[in-house]
Amino acid sequence: MGKIAYMECSKCGQHIGADRPQTVCPTDGGSLYVRYDLASINKKFARDVLCGRPANMWRYREVLPSDDPITLGEGFTPMAPSRHNPNVYIKDEGLNPTGSFKARGLCAAVTMAREYKLKKLAVPSAGNAASALAAYCAAAGIEAHIFMPSDVPTANYVECKSYGAKVTLVDGLISDCARMVNERKAAEGWFDISTLKEPFRVEGKKTMGYEVAEQLNWKLPDAIFYPTGGGVGLIGMWKAFEEMEQLGWIGKERPKMISVQASGCAPVVKAWEQHKPVAEAWQNAQTLAAGLRVPKPYADYIILDILRKSNGTAIAVSDDQIFDAVQEWASQEGVFAAPEGAASLAAYKILVEQKFLKASDKVVLFNTGSGLKYIDVIANAMENGQPVTAQPASRNIGGIIQPY
Ligand SMILES: Cc1ncc(COP(=O)(O)O)c(C=O)c1O
Ligand SMILES: [Zn+2]
């Protein structure tokens, strides 16, 4: 496939051709990285070339898999210094198409699906990935088959239906949705776009790493706070830093990568604290930050490895702290954040208090989505004076509530 040199397994290092659609490594199930011939790209892709290019993620097209994207204008979101501490930057991903950073990954995945002439894509989703898949599939003329928990924020469901996706609501978690996609995909002819089970969502999300560098004038921050469900963006940004080093755009320095999770579902934090290389599945996952309700990330081994290599850490925050952070960012910065994004602010405050970071450290807090997508969840919390934790409607875990 044109620009891609090969795919590389993140577990065994095996090289796999990109001439047909790939999922995971056939030997060990490892997630695949897309590799380019950076040595040749290097010769004609200098940082200055970016000047004057369109303000979207395809400004980095030399290191992206396609020259013919299905674009809705995703990426190049604002990097705004906080009004209270100019060392703290809020990277506002809520301004992406479909209101979250998921647009980047799904844009790349759907673009490549069209290049591979795939006709039907399926995804298990906590909500925002579903909306993004549905939108890009609508633009590409590809069928989207979506499995999401029945208690997803209303916006996600309404968006998916409006974009014309086939939606199945599941009385369970994203892990139950993933199992259903898995069971049915062969018979239905669906290509599985699940987090880290295809290589292109990482390619889209890695552009956040390029933007962090470009928007901070090629000097990476001391730390990056990333609300972690499946960890695609964290993995993507780390890959971007490696690529940029090979392109000679940055040096060896790296930010501390900080994985932020909700205390009601914190498998990465638990594994990190126990010095384990992989996470255990979290039982009874519950949090108002729907995107963080991922009981076991597929690429947990990569996330934990990056936290170690970057001298970062993993930290859990409660739904109360998340809700307070939503209100704080909105009232003090004018940023109405998704609960997942606001979790970054809550985590930052704790890590400064614990002296893991200094207030003078330059940090980027990722607001991964718009609060407007969570109006029902946030309104509910405001009415109750406290967050109402999302949880399946009945105990019939894994059952389908509304098939299409
Ligand atoms: C707003 C938001 N933030 C963060 C996440 C977690 O993202 P990732 O799966 O890349 O870790 C999600 C996932 O659904 C999300 O919707
Ligand atoms: Zn492998």
DSSP 282: P
- Structure tokens given for 316: 């859990």
List, in sequence order, every residue forming a beta bridge with 17; answer none if it has no partner. none
Alpha carbon 297 to chain centroid distance? Answer: 12
Residue pair 375/106 in contact (Cβ under 8 Å)? The answer is no
Integer Cα distance of 275 and 214 in angstroms: 34
- 230 Cα: distance to centroid of ligand 1 (angstroms): 7
Instruction: Give the CA dihedral 293, 295, 299, 305, nearest 10 degrees.
Output: 90
- Among the listed residues 301, 28, 2, 1, the one whose alpha carbon sits nearest the alpha carbon of residue 13: 28
Best mutation site among 340, 370, 374, 377 for ligand 1 pocket (most ligand atoms within 8 Å of CB)? 340
What's the distance, Cα to Cα, between the start and end of the chain in Å? 35
Looking at the CA of 344, name the nearest ligand.
1
What is the spatial distance between Cα 279 and Cα 276, in angstroms, rounded to a whole number? Answer: 7
131 lines ligand 1 (CB under 6 A): no
Between the CA of 32 and the centroid of ligand 2 the distance, in Å, is 8
Instruction: Give the three-state DSSP class for 120.
Output: strand
Quote the tokens at residue 237: 């940004």
Going through 39-103 in order, the beta strands assigned E by DSSP cover: 79-81, 88-92
Please tell me whether the overall predicted TM-score, pTM, comes out greater than 0.85 for this model: yes
> Could you tell me how many residues make up the chain?
404
The token duo for 174 is 């994203």
Distance CA 136, CA 97 (A): 10
Distance 297 CA to ligand 2 centre (A): 17
Shortest-distance atom of ligand 1 to CA 93 = 1
Least distant ligand from the CA of 93? 1
Find the helix or strand (DSSP H, E) in which 256 lies.
Answer: strand 256-262
What ligand has the least distance to the C-alpha of 26? Answer: 2
- pLDDT tens track, the chain, 404 positions: 679 999 999 999 999 999 999 999 999 999 999 999 999 999 999 999 999 999 999 999 999 999 999 999 999 999 999 999 999 999 999 999 999 999 999 999 999 999 999 999 999 998 999 999 999 999 999 999 999 999 999 999 999 999 999 999 999 989 999 999 999 999 999 999 999 999 999 999 999 999 999 999 999 999 999 999 999 999 999 999 999 999 999 999 999 999 999 999 999 999 999 999 999 999 999 999 999 999 999 999 999 999 999 999 999 999 999 999 999 999 999 999 999 999 999 999 999 999 999 999 999 999 999 999 999 999 988 888 777 655 444 323 345 556 54
Asked whether 368 lines ligand 1 (CB < 6 A), one says yes
- Spacing of C-alpha 294 from chain mean position: 12
Which ligand 1 atom is at minimum distance from the Cα of 232? Answer: 10
Query: Residue 400 in contact with residue 184, Cβ under 8 Å?
Result: no
Q: How far is the CA of 130 from the centre of ligand 1 (A)?
A: 11
Question: What is the distance in A from the centroid of ligand 1 to the CA of 229?
Answer: 5
Which of the 8 DSSP states describes residue 165? -
Q: Contact, 181 vs 203, CB < 8 A?
A: no
- Nearest CA among 160, 309, 135, 321 for reference residue 227: 321
- 260 alpha carbon – ligand 2 mean position (Å): 28
Cβ–ligand 1 distance for 344 under 6 Å, the answer no
Ligand 1 nearest atom to the CA of residue 338, by list position: 1
What CA–CA distance (Å, rounded) separates 290 from 124? Answer: 13
Give the number of other CB atoms < 10 A from CB of residue 60.
24
Residues 6+ apart with CB under 8 A from 159: 98, 130, 131, 134, 135
Q: How many Å lie between the centroid of ligand 1 and the Cα of residue 368?
A: 7
| Binding site membership of 229 for ligand 1 (Cβ less than 6 Å) | yes
Taking the centre of ligand 1 as the mean of its atom positions, its distance from the CA of residue 248, in whole angstroms, is 30
Q: Which two tokens stand for residue 402?
A: 């509304």
Q: Which two tokens stand for residue 48?
A: 């200055």
Q: What is the largest CA-CA distance in the chain?
A: 59
At 212, the amino acid letter reads V
Which residue's alpha carbon is nearest to atom 14 within ligand 1? 291
Cβ 135 under 6 angstroms from ligand 1: no
User: Would you tell me how many other CB atoms lie within 10 Å of the CB of residue 88?
Assistant: 24
- Which of helix, strand or coil describes residue 357? coil
